[in-house]
Amino acid sequence: MTSRVRKVVQDGIATITLDAPPLNVLGPDLRADLDAAVAAVLADPGARVLILTAAGRSWPAGGDIHEYDHPEADPTLRDICARLADAAKPVVAVLHGTVLGGGLELALSAAVRLAEPGTTLGLPEVSLGLVPGAGGTQRLPRLVGARAALGLLLGGLPVTAERAREIGLVDAVTGGAGAAAVALARAFLTGTAELPTAAERSAERRVDAEGWLAAVTAAREGIGAGRLPAPGRIIDCVEAALLLPGDEGADFERTAFEDLRATPESAALRHIFLAERRAARPADLDRLEAQMLYRAGIVGSGGAAPLLATGLLTAGLSVTLVEADQTALSTALARVARLHERAVERGRLSPEAREAEWARIGGATEGAALATADIVIEALPDEAARAEFLGGFDGLAKRGTLLATASLPAEVARLAEASGRPAAVVGLAGGGPVPGARLLEVVVTDETAPETQAALLALVRRMGRVPVRATDAPIGPRLFAALRTAMDHLVEEGASPYAVDRALRGWGFALGPYEMLDLTGLDAADERRRRQAIRRDPARRYVAVDDRLLAASRFGRRVGRGYYRYEDGGARRVEDPSVLAIVSEERAAKGLVARSVGTAEIEARALAALANEGVLLIEDGIARHPSDIDVVMVAGWGFPRWRGGPMQEADRIGLLTLRNALRDYAREEERFWRHGAVWDELIKNGMGFADLNRV
């Protein structure tokens, strides 16, 4: 037996221990060893009870997602689970850590499940556009009932061990679950305990088939006419668990799994899952042990400072806000308190957790409060204050303190030089105004030390955000600017901003670009545009609709009017004919005649602009991999997750098709639509953007 699986038989009890650190992922090698161990135990007359356990920090946390791109190698997890479920000998699973996906399916094949406190259990396959493929949709509803099973399968979120006990997913939650399993096994051997029957284990025991089918019907009504196929197939599989014999139900589930595995939606969801993991732990930093950060200081309360403060508290840090005077400090603390209250109201934070976090935040009006900080985040509102702070930073912070700027991450190199500690400086840039955006870009320079980069990426993960590393400037604003430019051209040519937003929302975006502008404020966008104006090519096409809206004091949602008009205190967004009149005036001023612009053209140009800007970002050295572009757009700027990001979607459509479209668009506006050289190089070599992710 290899070191991946250990088997011990003593006094009639066989113990199989999975030992494939760090997470006992059920890849082909571990499955082969497990299958051999199970076969040996079941054939051994001296082994009358089997205990399944796992070494290290977790029970298997799922399968190897890379295998989903190919047929599963033998022995399959489905076959191993079936062998355990059909075993004549009692099988007891001892669970700890994260019991997810195939790991939970393995646990479901046991007769009894004992869990350590703190264990979490779930079947997240729906988030990858799949159904479980090793019996999860069949065994779970028979164990906990159709309603509870559908909640777990369609939600995809893990539950605590205590909640799992309440619904019957585990039989007991106990410290020292391994010892409890041995005691239970001995009781089986002596006849002082019997295996619970299916009726005794099932929350469905008092519900007839009518109740099962009612739960299925309610679930179908709940998902409605969703565009993703996996939820409907999950419901079909749960229905099959009632209507079909066990073997046929398992075959039905496997067919659904294979069908979904081949869909572009599942391929995209798997791609973005791996892309986020790759971005969070870049290969070149993988061997570095990230410095732990315990104390943070935030200087100024501009922009994203309150959100960063709550994120740092979530990560377990103590936070000190530093403001110029007591009034500004009180305002800053109040903004953080409002975010905390909102999180409690929405059920994202318990009142007890809120109080614990609030106990770790304080304030000061003197820079001396930063003396013990491990990281200082600068979020100052103006250039003069920023220059004064950076000039004195070396005398305020101890050696080894990291410095992050959240005010001007696009100028991180200049700020790093001004600080006197360029190796310890990064920029931090969040995503757009999309609700639930989790992106936080870590902007580095050539002088940023690898240890600094590793520490910041680890901190962002602790904050519950999705980190992406960029060089010299953030990725997201450039992508959004490219999208805006392409859409502005279409608006000038004949589309309405509202048609653009409708088309892109219909394609899957969380928000259209003009909705986003209203949320961030056209005046804020105008400030950025003015800073960039000195670098803008005067011969490049410029659309002045924003300028006209600003001249009419249409600053966005906060004043009740921007591209849209906002009524009922901002709750209702209304298309505004006066904006269409401004657009028409701009066309007339340039002598343009409106043409018909359809939804398909809006979608095609939006994708082409994003993918081409992604190529230019890679050529400029700002982004390292196409997958980083995808993560930025999905996690921060509302691109549909089930499309995987613009570079993944470009690969799906075909690089030659998109490159040719770029050439066609360039005949109208060469300066904007000129395509990057990477397109031609990849096409010539029969490659796609996915190939660059492996470099």
So which residues are the catalytic ones?
A: 105, 125
Rounded Cα distance between 344 and 357, Å, is 12
Copy the structure tokens of residue 486: 């392409």
Q: Is 286 exposed, middle or buried (0-12, 13-18, 19+ CB in 10 A)?
A: exposed
Rounded Cα distance between 128 and 644, Å, is 11
β-pair partners for 54: 18
Q: Which of 566, 568, 477, 563 is nearest to 527 (CA)?
A: 477
User: Residue 95 carries which DSSP code?
Assistant: E
Rounded Cα distance between 245 and 250, Å, is 9
Which helix (H) or strand (E) is 361 found in, with range?
strand 361-364
Task: Give the torsion sign (CA, 179, 185, 191, 193).
Answer: positive
Strands 172-173 and 295-299: unpaired
Q: Which of 666, 291, 325 is nearest to 453 (CA)?
A: 291
Rounded Cα distance between 349 and 340, Å, is 8
Share of the chain residues as helix, strand and coil, in percent rounded to the nearest 5: 55, 15, 35
Sole residue written with tokens 């571990």? 30
DSSP result, 527-594: HHHHHHHTTS-TTS----HHHHHHHTT--BGGGTBSSEEEETTTTEEEE-HHHHHHHHHHHHHTT---
Rounded Cα distance between 451 and 448, Å, is 8
Sequence letter at residue 380 = L
Rounded Cα distance between 278 and 285, Å, is 11
Rounded Cα distance between 477 and 531, Å, is 13
Sequence letter at residue 641 = R
Rounded Cα distance between 212 and 214, Å, is 5
Which helix (H) or strand (E) is 467 found in, with range?
strand 466-471
